[in-house]
Structure 1
Amino acid sequence: MRIDIISPDLYENGGFPDEGFRRLRQEAPLYWHEDPNEGSPGFWAVTKYDDVVHVSRHPELFSSHARTSMFDEFTDDDIALYRLMMLFMDPPQHSRQRGYVNKGFTPRMIKQLEEHIRDVSHQLIDDVVERGEADFVRDISAPFPLYVICELIGAPVEDRNKLFDLSNALIGFDDPDYGTSAEHARDVSAEILGYAHELAAYHREHPGDDIATKLLQPDADGRVLSADEFAMFILLLIMAGNETTRNGASGGMLTFFQHPDQWRRLLANRGLIKTTADEVVRWVSPVNLFRRTAMQDTEVRGRQIKEGDKVVIFYPSANRDEDVFENPYTFDVGRDPNPHIGFGGGGPHFCLGTHLARLELTVLFEVLLERMPDIEQAGEARRLRSNFINGIKELPVRFTPSKPRN
């Protein structure tokens, strides 16, 4: 049995290899997968919901720290740098740092952003609404989270285009349109880290009511984040906070075009917006995978995993698991309960920005329903060539022209 679920071309052409996932869940839920890149190690592909949760919740068995959480292989020097990022830590180090940065992501802090998020949504629509056509990615879903992140970290709004280009270079190094490479992505990481150091210096001199300022202040025990820890957190926020919301929004809009009955359902019953964001995240699964490294011999589904083995968890597959979701191949904006793991499978690395991402998607689709009720697809969607991010690069749309709010 040979199934490929890792080649980036599969994701560019189809979103994600759904048929391969379905077959593995049924026939080989823990599957030894050769890496198509010569010289790279093979890996265990984890495709069932319960197994993804198990791997996620046992960092003592499956480490994010040993070889990072990324699928690709890094040099030891790169790994040493990336280990300063919370995404690549294990408890107890991860627990200490997450506890420290949590103060910027409390429900109260996120709730304070709702008016700003709504204003950003209206502003982006105002910029295109008279034209009657737009590229949903370039004009709406890509700038949307960057506006919010600039507010979140107290960065000038005029920096959003710079952050957009830097984020694309980090995520899109497998995509020829971005013309980058893994080496260039490292240079971009260094550029973002330099930007974060400048941001920290500014906020130490000019404290404000933003997460960056709060993260630079001592905690209850007098501990402060080091300059490198702060910079790596900003890198993580720009990468994770931007890409997931951007592609959740783009993928969600494309999904509504493919399931127009659900858009009509929302127009008729706006109360369903409360469950829409979670179904969009389940269906789209903006992050395709993360990697772990086995820290000791262990067993999953009766198969032996050896210490040092590469283990890869696939969120799109888990979010279609027939043993967990009723009618998993039905896009249902009213799905409730919806125990999807599009924000992670629990455990220490459950998405820090879950409340923010859910709020962003809810508000954006709420405003789109209000301002562009007849929005429709006007051309082919172009997907990102990436096995990491389920991304869309272009999505032409049209709608009835109208006047801006002001």
Structure 2
Amino acid sequence: MDINLVDQDHYASRGAPHDQFRWLRDNTPVFWHEGDAERDWPGFWALTKHEDVVHVSRNSDLFSSAKKLALFDEMPEEQRDLQRMMMLNQDPPEHTRRRSLVNRGFTPRAISKLEEHIREICHQLVDEARDKPEADFVRDFAAPLPLYVICELLGAPLEDRDKIFEWSNRMIGAQDPDYADPDEGQNAAMEVYSYANELAAARKDDPQDDIVTKLLQPADSGEVLSVDEFDLFVLLLVVAGNETTRNAASGGMLALFENPEQWARLVADRALAGPAADEIVRWVSPVNLFRRTATTNTVVRGQEIAEGDKVVVFYTSANRDEDVFQNPDVFDIGRTPNPQIGFGGGGAHFCLGNHLAKLELRVLFEVLSERIPTLQQAGEATRLRSSFINGIKTLPVTL
């Protein structure tokens, strides 16, 4: 079988290459994937089994996020220095220090306080969509929900949500002609830095009950985030807090359309919205991959991996692993147990916002199944041209 796990055109036209993932899990779960000289990225080890993705995720000492960063594409060393100030591109102990500073705003207790407000937002989105002649699930539901919540977390005006949406699209969609060209992603990042600086300055003069104020205050240890650290955290929140929930929600709705018996189950029993959120994350795997770099010679599943080798973990494949999930190619909103790793395989980089993302998904699908039980797909979904994010750009619906 021809293997190309990072063909962006395949993701845009057909979604994730599940047939290739299945073949690799069965035949070569630690696979040497050829590079691409034209795109200036080297060959890499592709890991497709659940157990191996978890192993890499939980052993930052062996598989570094900082050495050559966590995103797939290569970057010049001078650019890496700045990127290493972002938690995504750090290893312990620096990552542990930073995470302890920002975790104050993301405890389960802090997130649970948002539930009723998130429910109000979802009801508002339904009301607004009813007044539109044509509805699109991404534009009218999946995208605005996390944007409203991000504005709430940042204490930013709600009218800023369109700017945040555009910045996120330009950074994540740099390889999709509908959104931006690669240079635009860098420009959008600089605009986010400037926006974060303005937010920080406003909160220093006028503290509020929001995450920005919390993060700018000293921790119990007396440590504070530097200006650059704060700017990069806001950048991470704008992208990670938006893209993952947005694409899980839209991919989940598409899965429910394609499996109408599951939608009927949810309409009949909204208590299934909790396990449905986990199944949606498993099924969609909003983040397809992350990159690590081997820090020493090591072995995974009998395969020798050399120090400095590029190692790429595929969550989409791990979440369909037959050794872990019974009937993995069946979408089952009542699946239990469900050890999905759509938020990462544990370890230092387990998703900081996983409680928030699951809360948003649960409440959204509770409200949709209650308010619009006859929701139907009204046209073809269009997919994002990206091998990093399993994204949906448009999903026409009728209410």
Common topology (TM > 0.5): yes
**Percent of aligned pairs sharing the same letter:** 61
Residues 99 and 128 of structure 1: CA distance in aligned 2, closer, same or farther (over 3 Å): same
Aligned equivalent of 2:64: 63
Deviates more, 1:339-348 or 1:5-14: 5-14
CA distance in 1, matches of 2:96, 2:177: 38
Cα deviation, residue 147, structure 1 = 0.5
SS of 2:95 mapped into structure 1:
helix
Does the 8 Å CA contact 1:68/1:291 hold for their aligned counterparts?
yes
Does the 8 Å CA contact 2:62/2:296 hold for their aligned counterparts?
yes
Alignment of 1:6-405 (within 5 A): 6-38=6-38, 39-131=40-132, 133-181=134-182, 183-399=183-399
Tell me the TM-score normalised to structure 1 length: 0.96
SS of 1:178 mapped into structure 2:
coil
CA distance in 2, matches of 1:321, 1:37: 31
SS of 1:31 mapped into structure 2:
strand
CA distance in 1, matches of 2:37, 2:282: 29
Cα deviation, residue 10, structure 1 = 1.3
CA distance in 2, matches of 1:138, 1:19: 30
CA distance in 2, matches of 1:16, 1:53: 20
Does the 8 Å CA contact 1:134/1:396 hold for their aligned counterparts?
yes
SS of 1:176 mapped into structure 2:
coil
Structure 1 counterpart of 2:162, which letter?
N
- Render the CA deviation track for 1:62-110: whole Å, top value 9, x for unaligned: 0000111000011112211111100100000000111111111011110
Cα deviation, residue 128, structure 1 = 1.3
CA distance in 2, matches of 1:37, 1:277: 40
Structure 2 counterpart of 1:138, which letter?
R
Structure 2 counterpart of 1:76, which letter?
E
CA distance in 1, matches of 2:132, 2:13: 30
Cα deviation, residue 130, structure 1 = 3.5
- Render the CA deviation track for 1:207-249: whole Å, top value 9, x for unaligned: 1111111001001121111111111100000000000000000
CA distance in 1, matches of 2:234, 2:349: 17
Does the 8 Å CA contact 1:44/1:311 hold for their aligned counterparts?
yes
CA distance in 1, matches of 2:320, 2:68: 28
Does the 8 Å CA contact 2:122/2:367 hold for their aligned counterparts?
yes
- Render the CA deviation track for 1:157-206: whole Å, top value 9, x for unaligned: 1110001000000000110111321x221121111111111111111111
CA distance in 2, matches of 1:186, 1:226: 21
Does the 8 Å CA contact 2:251/2:391 hold for their aligned counterparts?
yes
CA distance in 1, matches of 2:78, 2:168: 22
Does the 8 Å CA contact 1:267/1:373 hold for their aligned counterparts?
yes
Structure 2 counterpart of 1:139, which letter?
D
SS of 2:293 mapped into structure 1:
strand
Does the 8 Å CA contact 1:132/1:398 hold for their aligned counterparts?
no
CA distance in 1, matches of 2:50, 2:219: 37
SS of 2:178 mapped into structure 1:
helix
CA distance in 2, matches of 1:217, 1:179: 36
SS of 1:293 mapped into structure 2:
strand
SS of 1:177 mapped into structure 2:
coil
Cα deviation, residue 122, structure 1 = 1.1
Deviates more, 1:254-263 or 1:202-211: 202-211
Does the 8 Å CA contact 2:36/2:42 hold for their aligned counterparts?
no
CA distance in 1, matches of 2:9, 2:134: 29
Does the 8 Å CA contact 1:319/1:340 hold for their aligned counterparts?
yes
CA distance in 2, matches of 1:171, 1:207: 31
Structure 1 counterpart of 2:307, which letter?
E
CA distance in 2, matches of 1:148, 1:40: 36
* Aligned residue pair count: 398
Cα deviation, residue 133, structure 1 = 3.8
Q: Give structure 2 stretches of 5+ with no counterpart.
A: none
RMSD: 1.0
CA distance in 1, matches of 2:221, 2:84: 23
